[in-house]
Amino acid sequence: MTLYSKDFTRLQKTSLSLGAVVAQYQNVTIQKFLHRTSELFPDNIHFLMCAANASLMAGSYKYALSQYSCVSQKHPNDPLPILLSSICFLNMSMKRNITRSKALAIRAIALIGKYRDIREKSGPKQEIYYNFGRLLHQTGLVSQAVYWYQKVLDEPDPLVLVDDAVTGDQIFVPCQKYSLKPLAALNYINIIQKSNPGKARQLRRKYCII
């Protein structure tokens, strides 16, 4: 694979293919190849993100953080590396051998807030609110997580671009397929099912039954 690394950088779709491979197969060989390629071509953001994602899934959170920081320095308005950096800090705070777990959790919350500020300018509200609530839920701040899950449920379904069957023009229509309401409702139910079973039952019937 090393012999073809220079050729890979000339292909625009190669990073997408490698990202799909990394997502499906967590292999040490693939991880080493991505790290070598990102070191050979440090200006290639796509390979740098692939290497960082491989490190994140392998549990090498410090290495992933350094790579996400490089991406954020070159693209400060990109919310994705900021979100993934927040996940790295969150996972590090949950390790048993970490003594400053609260400080790491605070860093994760601070970064998710920065992600929200950047993503709100162009991204769908459901995605932002769900990611914020999910991180707070995982840190144990369930009362705050409920607030953000409720905001997900209050948002309309995301709009997708489709061809109109009558006119042939492209129009935006709500699409329930990409809605995060079922996931938000399920997490909401797990939090309140003991304290408020009636509300939990209502949410399950409305969002979690096919």
Q: Lowest-confidence range among 18-32, 103-117, 149-163, 192-206?
A: 18-32
| Phi and psi at residue 163, to the nearest 5° | -90, 130
Torsion sign across C-alpha atoms 113, 119, 121, 123: negative
Rounded Cα distance, 134 and 129, in Å:
8
Residue range 1-123 forms a domain whose CATH class is mainly alpha
Between these two residues, 210 and 77, which has the higher pLDDT value?
Answer: 77
User: What pLDDT score was predicted for residue 131?
Assistant: 95
Task: Check pLDDT > 50 for residue 3.
Answer: no
* Per-residue pLDDT reduced to its tens digit, 8-30: 545 556 666 776 777 777 667 77
* Cross-strand bridge partners of residue 174: 159
Average pLDDT on 49-57 reads: 85
Q: What is the mean pLDDT of the chain?
A: 85
Q: Is the pLDDT of residue 2 over 50?
A: no
pLDDT at 137 over 70: yes
Domain map (residue ranges) of the chain: 1-123, 127-210
Burial letters 126-156, b for 16+ CB under 10 A, else e: bbbbbbbbbbbbbbebbebbbebbbbbbebe
Residue 7: pLDDT above 70? no
CA distances from 87 to 57, 84, 90, 104, 196 (A): 11, 5, 5, 10, 30
Residue 69 has pLDDT above 50, yes or no: yes
Question: In angstroms, rounded to a whole number, what is the distance separating the alpha carbons of residues 84 and 148?
Answer: 19
Residue 162's DSSP bridge partners are 171
pLDDT of res. 134: 95
